[in-house]
Amino acid sequence: MKIVVCVKQTPDTAATVTVEDGRVSWGDSPLVLNPWDEYAVEEAIKTKEAHGGTVTAISLGPERAQEVLKQALAMGADEAVLIHDQAFEGADVGVVSVALAMAVGKIGEVDLVFFGRASVDSAAGLTFAQTARHLGWPLLSQVAAIEELDPSAGKLQVVRLLQEGRQIVGSPLPAVVSVVKEINEPRYPSFMGIRKASKAEIPSWGATELGLEAALEPRVIWPSITQPAKVETTCEFIDGESAAEKGRRLAQRLIEEKVI
């Protein structure tokens, strides 16, 4: 099987995010592999372990995004590719998904593309869907389990996690799968993986290598970003002998404060 997993480098979720000069800043907080993508990498590796084949991790980002590709390699991905080009600066989800789809095409004969559910920074949660659309492949999202996978017959059956419950969906291959955290427990990189990853040379593909003839224009731009004003809140506890008593007192307070 040829499996691809798409990953992104994001700030650590523990970072304090501020706005400086209309731009988002996370100070000197470390950059990490997007936590949602860890589940995707793990599922890609598990699928390879079960069915044989290779896992290629790809990421669209600046040079430093190589660090998260190395994380994926250390976890057990076989290859990694960085998609990097001046032309991709300021890219919106639309541009990213075209580039990712072309990279998948360039890798060739791919059976499955894994994504996490969203990135923790821009959190559009759309990249997997748009990439599937550009590839023209079925998209399976909110996937909590892969129930059946038959690479030779080209069939896949998954469990999707919905608000209403669990949904079983079948699909032909190739397909794009976006996973949720219920699907697995991401492994730690092994020391052997760390050794191999630190030695790995990661190729970089630019617009030309991807076969993009014309520049891609983002259709979504962020003209300015502001931080909402900090709201000072006070907390008042409503006491009472019983729930009914507390309810009466709360209603009283809400009327007094002219909320209702």
Partner 1 sequence: MDFSLTEEHLMVQKMVRDFATKEVEPTIRQWDEKAEMAPEVLPRMAELGILGISIPVRYGGQGMDYISLGLACEELEAVDTTLRVVMSVHMGLNSMGLLQWGTEDQKQRFLVPQARGERYAGFCLTEPGAGSDVAALRSTARRDGDAYLLNGEKMWISLATKAHNMLWFAKTDPDSDDSHNSISAFLLETDRPGVTSGDIHGKLGVRAGSTGWVNCQDVRVPVENRIGEEGEGFKIAMSCLDNGRYTVASGATGLIRASRDASVRYAKEREAFGRPIAQFQLVQQKIALMSQSYEMARLLYLQAGWRKNQGLRNTKETSMAKWFATDASFEAASEAIQVHGAYGYSNEYDVERYLRNARGAIIYEGTSEIHTLIQAGYALGLRDDAELRSELPAYDPELWQAETSEAIPVA
Q: Does residue 11 interact with partner 1 by CB under 8 A? A: no
Q: Which lies closer to partner 1 via its Cβ, residue 174 or residue 189?
A: 189
Residue selected from 18, 198, 204, 227 as contacting partner 1 according to rule CB under 8 A: 198
Among 71, 97, 119, 184, binds partner 1 (CB under 8 A): 71
76 near partner 1 (CB under 8 A): no
Nearer to partner 1, 201 or 257 (CB): 201
CB of 63 to partner 1, least distance (A): 14
* Binding map of partner 1 across residues 209-228, x = CB under 8 A, - = no contact: --------------------
Q: Is 190 in the site for partner 1 (CB under 8 A)?
A: yes
- 3-state per-residue secondary structure call for the chain: CEEEEECCEEECCCCCCEEECCEEECCCCCEEECHHHHHHHHHHHHHHHHHCCEEEEEEECCHHHHHHHHHHHHHCCCEEEEECCHHHCCCCHHHHHHHHHHHHHHHCCCCEEEECCCCCCCCCCCHHHHHHHHHCCCEEEEEEEEEEEECCCCEEEEEEECCCCEEEEEEECCEEEEECHHHCCCCCCCHHHHHHHHHCCCCEECHHHHCCCCCCCCCCCCCCCCCCCCCCCCCCCCCCCCHHHHHHHHHHHHHHCCCC
Which range binds partner 1 by CB under 8 A, 19-27, 64-72, 92-100, 144-152? 64-72
Q: Report, in Å, the least distance between residue 46 CB and partner 1.
A: 17
- Closest approach, Cβ 24 to partner 1, in A, equals 22
Q: How far is the CB of 11 from partner 1 (least distance, A)?
A: 15
Q: Which is nearer to partner 1, 149 or 202 (CB)?
A: 202
Size of the site for partner 1 (CB under 8 A): 13
Work out how close the CB of 177 gets to partner 1 at its nearest, in angstroms, rounded to a whole number.
Answer: 25
57 near partner 1, rule: CB under 8 A: no
Bridge pairing between strands 139-150 and 23-25:
unpaired
111 and 3 Cβ atoms separated by less than 8 Å: yes
Query: Which residues are CB-neighbours of 88 under 8 A, at least 6 positions away?
Result: 60, 95, 96, 99, 207, 216
Q: For partner 1, which is the closer residue by CB, 66 or 178? A: 66
Instruction: Answer yes or no whether residue 251 interacts with partner 1 by CB under 8 A.
Output: no
10 contacts partner 1 (rule: CB under 8 A)? no
Q: Which residues bind partner 1 (CB under 8 A)?
A: 67, 70-71, 74, 188-192, 194-195, 197-198
